[in-house]
Amino acid sequence: QLKKVFRGYDFRLVNNLDWTSKLTVIEFLRDIGKHFSMTPLVQRDYIAKRLGEDGAGVSYAEFSYTILQGMDFLHLYDTYGCTLQLGGSDQWGNCLSGVELIRRARGAEAHVITLPLIINKATGKKFGKSEEGAVWLDPDKTSPYKFYQFWLNSDDEGVEGYLKVYTELDKPALEQTMQKFNDDRAGRTAQKTLAYEVTKLIHGEEKAEAVRRATDALFSEEQMFDALSPAEKQLLKSELPVVKGIQGRRFAATLVDAGLARSNSEAMHFIDAGAIKVNNVRILNEAGGALRAGDNLIQRGKNSFAIVVH
């Protein structure tokens, strides 16, 4: 995943298991532990709160984490001449452990830059794997289609910040995007740009283009579904309910099969209310739901879709 994000740059990936797995307890205490004083460690906010009168306490394993992270920085300094560590703002104390260790053990200077955590302004929650509805870079955990939808559904309040942080748009391009967005928020230019740019960065331009076209086919007023390539239609089939159309079967029953209605009577209610589209054409009676040969895109309301293969 990181190789995709940083493709085109000269960088090296290392795994701290390679040096920690070979370390003995005696070596750890003798070479690393002796450089740490307990007093400043227990005074750090996240430790002090856990050790306080109403705190739940902290295990020795968890307490040792900051020392291990400091040791990682020392190893990178010794091996690669690394003098700068980047981290989230919640890692400030752990990053400083490495700065202090390098100073004490090597008499050298090292530095830290921490970055603010990304907060969803609408919910107040941080972006992270522990949060509900987390989005993953791994396509096996979050498909490129769902990944694109995640960013497409960004709230108006936070979208400009996400564009600045998660895309490589330069300042003029970003300002132009936000100008179009502010002139017509209903057009969601900022969200569409964000979704495309982040998907391109993580999954590549070809996949991003396919997902964008597939998404446009669902939500555009034009009949774009027919213009999709077989691969793009297959992408939608992997995400939407797909049912087999049966010759002579009532269209209302097909809607039930596709999960767009719970019963034939509810399906007829949706049809009568004009809530159903077949291949982007609104139908007002069951006779209008005739399915053609091949793939048919069925839509109920704004956001419910299925594909019927007839």
DSSP state of 127: P
Backbone angles phi, psi at 132, to 5 degrees: -65, 135
- The single residue listed with the structure tokens 């003995």 is 24
DSSP 230: H
pTM: 0.82
> What's the confidence (pLDDT) of residue 63?
84
The DSSP annotation for 19-52 comes to HHTT--HHHIIIIIGGG--HHHHHHSHHHHHHHS
Give pLDDT, residue 50.
79
**Inter-axis angle of helices 159-166 and 171-183, nearest 10:** 160
Neighbours of 236 (CB within 10 A): 23
Q: For residue range 220-266, list pLDDT tens digits in order.
A: 777 789 899 999 999 999 999 999 988 888 999 999 999 999 999 99
pLDDT for res 5: 86
- Return all residues near 201 (Cβ < 8 A) that are at least 6 apart: 4, 5, 166, 167, 168
Indicate the SS3 state at residue 249. Answer: coil
CB atoms within 10 A of CB 216: 15
Cβ neighbours for 96, distance < 8 A, ≥ 6 positions apart: 112
Answer whether residue 219 shows pLDDT above 90. no
Q: Residues of the chain with pLDDT > 70: what percent?
A: 96
Q: Return d(Cα 253, Cα 245) in angstroms, integer.
A: 10
Give the count of alpha carbons within 13 A of 214, CB side only: 26
- Residues 157-180 have pLDDT tens digits of 999 999 999 999 999 999 999 999
122-137 tens-digit pLDDT:
778 887 666 666 789 9
